[in-house]
């Protein structure tokens, strides 16, 4: 199956592509174009909004990135991004020529923020997402960080906020990255407490 950009795999309507990006892709290696095309074929659940964004320029010769914002049932907000890197020569620690980098930041309620198992739970959101989506990967590593901020004086906003940051990177073992994109979407849903697709929480208003 030809998975190159512009062939049988078409980008999701939830992705916004720029002329600059499309032009750059025509000059990209075939393997990278296949990987990008696979990510663009991901169909996120209705609550998630995925958009292409300017990727980091100095991490690898070729890069691509998507961003995501979502609000959960309890008005928990989260933002995240998934970056695809490609270096034909590979890099130390990659164990391959492709690398995916994930960053997620989410608000926490005070009760969850004091849970001593929160870092392990946060990491399991990623590993569970990769496993249930059927992704193939190696060289996975990352961190889960909890931060608390207190406001004083005339600064607007709540007196105290608690946040979680999940940073991770791993090497996909092939260019079939749909499952990796789906795992990213699962992480974003888990962070804000979205129920499984097709399940409505008690008391949650249904929309047409």
* Interval 52-111: pLDDT, tens: 999 988 899 999 999 999 998 878 889 999 999 999 999 999 999 999 999 999 987 766
* Beta strands 77-86 and 62-71, pairing class: antiparallel
DSSP letters, 42-109, are: ----TT-EEEEEPPPSSSSSEEEEEEEEEE-TTS-EEEEEEEEEE-TT--TTTSSSEEEEEEEEEEE-
Structural domain includes residue 61: yes
- Dihedral sign, Cα of residue 172, residue 178, residue 181, residue 185: negative
The pLDDT of residue 207 is above 70: no
Structural domain includes residue 14: no
178: which 2 tokens? 């749909």
- Cβ–Cβ under 8 Å, residues 68 and 184: yes
The number of distinct structural domains making up the chain is 1
In which residue are the tokens 């990008």 written? 36
Structural domain includes residue 161: yes
Cα separation values, 20 from 25, 29, 52, 61, Å: 9, 17, 12, 16
Strand order in the sheet with 98-108: 49-53, 62-71, 77-86, 98-108, 160-172, 137-150
Which pTM does this prediction carry? 0.80
Structural domain includes residue 91: yes
Q: Using a pLDDT cut of 70, give the percent of the chain over it.
A: 74
Structural domain includes residue 35: yes
Structural domain includes residue 116: yes
What distance in Å separates the CA atoms of residue 69 and residue 188, rounded to the nearest whole number?
8
Question: How would residue 148 be classed by pLDDT, with cut points 50, 70 and 90?
Answer: confident
Structural domain includes residue 154: yes
Range of the domain at 101: 19-192
* Interval 15-40: pLDDT, tens: 444 434 544 566 789 999 999 999 99
Instruction: Of 41, 29, 34, give the one whose Cα is nearest residue 1.
Output: 34
Structural domain includes residue 49: yes
Q: How many helices (H) and strands (E) does the chain have?
A: 5, 6
pLDDT at 74: 78
């Amino acid at each position: 199956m030809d998975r190159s950009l512009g062939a049988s795999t078409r980008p999701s309507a939830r992705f916004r592509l720029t002329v600059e990006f499309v032009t750059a892709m025509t000059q990209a290696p075939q393997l990278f174009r296949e990987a990008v095309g696979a990510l663009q074929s991901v169909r996120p659940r209705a609550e998630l909004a995925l958009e292409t964004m300017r990727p980091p320029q100095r991490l690898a010769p070729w890069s691509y990135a998507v961003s995501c914002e979502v609000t959960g049932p309890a008005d928990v907000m989260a933002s995240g991004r998934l970056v695809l890197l490609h270096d034909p020569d590979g890099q130390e620690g990659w164990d391959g020529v492709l690398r995916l980098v994930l960053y997620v930041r989410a608000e926490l309620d005070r009760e969850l923020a004091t849970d001593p198992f929160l870092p392990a739970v946060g990491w399991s959101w990623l590993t569970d997402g990769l496993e249930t989506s059927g992704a193939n990967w190696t060289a996975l590593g990352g961190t889960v960080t909890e931060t608390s901020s207190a406001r004083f004086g005339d600064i607007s906003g709540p007196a105290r906020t608690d946040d979680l940051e999940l940073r991770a990177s791993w090497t996909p073992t092939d260019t079939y990255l749909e499952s990796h994109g789906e795992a990213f979407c699962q992480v974003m849903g888990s962070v804000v407490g979205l129920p499984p697709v097709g399940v409505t929480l008690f008391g949650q208003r249904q929309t047409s």
